[in-house]
Amino acid sequence: MWVLLLVSIAGFVAQLIDGSMGMAFGVSATSLLLLLAYSPAAASAIVHFAEVVTAAVSGVSHIKFGNVHWPTLAKIAIPGSVGAFGGAVLLSNLDLSAARPWTSAILLVLGFVIIARFVKARAQRAARDGRKRWLVPLGLVGGFVDSTGGGGWGPVVTTSLTVSSVLLPRKAIGTTNAAEFAVALSASTGFLIGLGASSIPWDAVVALIIGGVLAAPVAAWVVTKIPQQMLGLVVGFFIVFLNVRQLSLSLNFSGIAIGTLLVLVVVAGLATVITIAKRSKAQR
């Protein structure tokens, strides 16, 4: 019972982060499930089945608060679903862990690009329609990475939409979260075909759903209250934090080295946010 309680708490925390930053439900929840001795394929399946419900609630909440850009949603949801289904079926029969360091390296670079953009206070430019020719591949890659890595839809899609200035941060987050419902549904179907219903721990799925559903409306409200420049910086440093950790683990860094790097990222993030906040206050 205590294991399921921990899973439910993980769902709440993961959805709070995901709903307010547009990423990391899968990364956070999968990490804890692996710690609780679930296999990688089972952990990813649990997360995606839970995300069918949590993403639906989160998407409705973001729609209610005006955080969804519909033209972009239409261009990323369908290819994202295709990529997620293919990745889920593949993961059920193949280990793709060797590709994770390369994905983390790309996301790390994008995280630094986001930080640089919002340090220069360019967050307030108006939204513009993204071109279908790059949004479709973005959705396809994001869905594939998400299902094969136990998470990644948010980091890939939210990061790319923010870096490209297609959407303001809250719109990028809301649109990504709304599209995640279709992606999670397709990935779940793929895992159901690849693993079989009997191999999926349904009690853990329910526990994760309960925690995530409770957090979804709170996160959608939070994202409307945070200044856009601050939100962009937080998203950027959060991406850097996650991928510095993943790369360090992949390169077999010592525990002390990993801890030092993560502390440096947190300190740099806090210093940057505080400095920008003081600058904005002085300008007002």
For the stretch 162-181, pLDDT in tens is 777 677 778 888 898 889 89
pLDDT of residue 126: 47
In this model, does residue 226 exceed pLDDT 80?
no
Cβ atoms within 10 Å, residue 208: 31
Residue 4: is its pLDDT beyond 70? yes
Task: Tell me the mean pLDDT in the region 88-111.
Answer: 70
pLDDT at 95 over 70: no
DSSP assigned state of 226? S
User: What's the pLDDT score for residue 124?
Assistant: 46
pLDDT of residue 16: 72
pLDDT mean over 138-167: 81
Residue 89 contacts residue 193 (beta carbons within 8 Å) = yes
Cα separation, 193 vs 191, in Å, equals 5
> Which amino acid is residue 66, in one-letter code?
G
| pLDDT at residue 261 is higher than 90 | yes
Q: What is the pLDDT of residue 127?
A: 46
pLDDT at 239 over 80: no
pLDDT at 84 (0 to 100) = 93
| Of residues 33, 51, 34, the one with CA closest to residue 176 | 51
Q: Say if pTM beats, i.e. exceeds, 0.85.
A: no
Q: What is the pLDDT of residues 203-220, one digit of tens each?
A: 888 888 888 778 777 776
Estimate the share of the chain in helix, then strand, then coil, as percent rounded to the nearest 5: 85, 0, 15
> In which region does residue 39 sit, left (phi positive, over 0), alpha (psi from -120 to 50) or beta (all else)?
beta
Give percent of the chain above pLDDT 90: 14
Instruction: Say if residue 96's pLDDT is above 60.
Output: no
Tell me the pLDDT band of 143, cut-offs 50, 70 and 90.
very high
